[in-house]
Amino acid sequence: MNEDLNGIEALAYELRKFPPSLEFVANALVSDESLYDEAAANHEKFWERQARELVDWNEPWTKVCEWDLPYSEWFVGGKLNVSFNCLDRHVLAGKGNKVAFFWEGEPGDTRVVTYSELLDEVQKFANVLKSLGVEKGDRVNIYLPMIPEAAVAMLACARIGAAHSVVFGGFSSQALADRINDAEAKVLITADGGWRRGEVFPLKSQADDAVKLTSTIEHVVVVKRGGNDVEMQEGRDHWYHEIMETASAVCPAEPMDSEQLLFLLYTSGTTGKPKGIMHTTGGYLTHVAYTFKYVFDHKPETDIFWCTADVGWVTGHSYIVYGPLANGATQVMYEGVPNFPGTDRMWSIIEKYRATIFYTAPTAIRTYMKWGTQEPAKHDLSSLRLMGSVGEPINPEAWMWYHEHIGGGKCPIVDTWWQTETGGIMIAPLPGVTVTKPGSATRPLPGVGAELVDELGRSVTKGGGYLTLTKPWPGMLRGIWGDQNRYRETYWSRFSDRYFAGDGAKLDDEGYLWLLGRVDDVMNVSGHRISTTEVESALVSHPSVAEAAVVGASDATTGQAIIAYVTLRGGLEVDEKVLRDHVAQEIGAIAKPKTIYFTPDLPKTRSGKIMRRLLRDVAEGRNLGDTTTLADASVVNELQRRAVETPTED
Ligand code: 7RM
């Protein structure tokens, strides 16, 4: 056990190792240390080569990187158009008939969109935006379901230099209004409704309520998808299919400055109003094109890529829209939930489209585990050759389940650590190079500088610490919209000369990084700093447990006591004591939960991250704080009711 109290104690130890198969290595884009060596030798030269090889520029840059902490500019003076890079250049290269999206609607309807069709649609919609008064530098809000028009709208903005701000369709009208107001958006693009769990959910009525709370929206464009009734306000609201009919077909891609604002994406901080994370053009595109190509070992001629994220999150921006399209990828896009009409929907889609690369989140994987192995077993998943994970630490048991039951034991898993703020993947294996360990994101990618430090900012080379980023990178955020003080405060003040991501991690004997979750989630039990992730992983490693959330609640004797909320795998039961002993055996007696609550569901954000803050409120008997970002509020209300009824035992 690591007794260093400065950092976060690293307790559990995972010994399994998975090298890529010889066959995978033989066909991989990278199968040796060359990229790492090249980047280590010269950081800027490395990124400059990526920018030159992966992106088409209208004008060359004069400087690779201008770094004045905490601000960076990349490919300074260079000009390019993101939409041209994602569309025109592939069509010009004769790939117009290549499929960009195999789209599958939740009810089972389908659409196939080729690169030339996507280009036609984007040009027309760019002209629509112009006709509605949108100019370079303006902000456009997008509030859509998972339909191809979401990508069209984003790329049309990029084509004319307007910044988009996509708001996830599951957010409320108030959340949408806050984001419109902060960005002062001129135009809102929405739909009548979308499909979710067999029903149409309304978007336009939510959008109407939001627009009432704002003063900047001049026009609303409405895509017809749900077929539900909507009210259209004369002069302000326009049906997408009507306004597209008369739009002119040609809208040349205008070269943009490399530092032109490409998008804002709002992310909630721990307190206060959401932050509009700013991303710009040349550096961002280079970063996502590079990471998509090499982390997913992407072969444009043969791969079918499926990222299950919503376009409302950064993962959808970077790995459904910009990264894959810049690489000319063919993708699957799915509109709905994973359990409609049955709990095997995802596996039936993989089988149907012969997807080769699958990118999803640990929360989804743990849900699939709960539904049972018989679901993937119904389908032929042999087309898969590589799988990814993003969004949270992946527990070793979930990793193993994914590996065996989805990947058939043969697919490398790339556990990708990154944030809205980083723009693209930062820490992940290169699948043809890295020997993976279940639960470890392994090491920083070539071109990324990451270091663990202790409370005082001193380098930690083994054990737990704070994850920091030491070098500027092309996809890094350029700030927080309208609040640059908060930018400096949030990311650059904890440690003087580096970016602090807010995550804890540990380094093992071989230099592998293990993410331990947000540092606000770290518990302090009798002076031991214990990560919630490790206790959760120990719980999930018990065969009856599907998912676990662990929090520290104040305790008179130990400072904090470990409280666990556990969801069991379908049909199974287990005694609380058995689980407590299991944790003691996996980690040590110090990590034994004081109380375990069994619950059918855990409180999660709409993007699937467990909200431990709320569970802490429940465990400490407080009124719940802000619950607006919660996907399903009834889950925590029920836990709260039971916390009052169940006396804490020991
Ligand atoms: C891409 C995304 C960022 C936070 C980040 C972490 C957590 C994301 C991993 C992970 C462990 C991973 N952007 N996180 N990926 N933790 N392993 N592979 O999720 O802005 O929404 O969230 O998510 O805490 O700081 S995000």
Distance CA 623, CA 604 (A): 18
**What is the residue with the minimal CA distance to atom 5 of ligand 1?**
419
pTM above 0.85, yes or no: yes
Distance CA 566, CA 571 (A): 14
Residue found under tokens 């709260």 = 640
Confidence (pLDDT) at 272: 61
* Residues whose beta carbon lies within 6 Å of some atom of ligand 1: 267, 314-315, 389-393, 415-420, 441, 501-503, 515, 518, 607
Distance of CA 337 to the CA centre of its chain: 17
**Residue 315 CA: which ligand 1 atom is closest?**
1
Distance CA 204, CA 167 (A): 13
pLDDT 10s digits, 138-161: 999 999 999 999 999 999 999 999
Distance CA 205, CA 516 (A): 40
Distance CA 324, CA 307 (A): 10
Confidence (pLDDT) at 449: 98
Cα–ligand 1 centroid distance for 145 (angstroms): 23
**What is the residue with the minimal CA distance to atom 19 of ligand 1?**
391
Extract the tokens encoding 642: 């039971």
Q: Is 343 helix (H, G, I), strand (E, B) or coil?
A: coil
Q: Is 330 helix (H, G, I), strand (E, B) or coil?
A: strand
pLDDT 10s digits, 214-265: 999 999 999 999 999 999 999 999 999 999 999 999 999 999 999 999 999 9
Question: Does 473 score more than 80 pLDDT?
Answer: yes
Q: Is 152 helix (H, G, I), strand (E, B) or coil?
A: helix
Taking residues 395-400, report their average pLDDT.
Answer: 94
Question: Does 488 score more than 60 pLDDT?
Answer: yes
pLDDT 10s digits, 343-384: 999 999 999 999 999 999 999 999 999 999 999 999 999 999
CA dist 56 → 121, 286, 326, 474, 514 (Å) = 21, 10, 10, 16, 36
Distance of CA 552 to the CA centre of its chain: 26
Distance CA 380, CA 340 (A): 19
| Of 408, 514, 520, 539, residue with least CA distance to 464 | 514
pLDDT 10s digits, 589-639: 889 999 999 998 999 988 888 989 889 888 888 877 667 777 787 888 888
CATH code at 526-645: 3.30.300.30
**Residue 501 CA: which ligand 1 atom is closest?**
25
| Of 72, 94, 500, 490, residue with least CA distance to 267 | 490
List the domain boundaries for the chain.
22-504, 526-645
Cα–ligand 1 centroid distance for 276 (angstroms): 17
**Residue 428 CA: which ligand 1 atom is closest?**
18
Question: Does 643 score more than 70 pLDDT?
Answer: no
Question: Does 427 score more than 90 pLDDT?
Answer: yes
Q: Is 585 helix (H, G, I), strand (E, B) or coil?
A: helix
Q: Are 152 and 164 in contact (CB under 8 A)?
A: no
Q: According to the CATH classification, is domain 22-504 in 3.40.50.12780?
A: yes
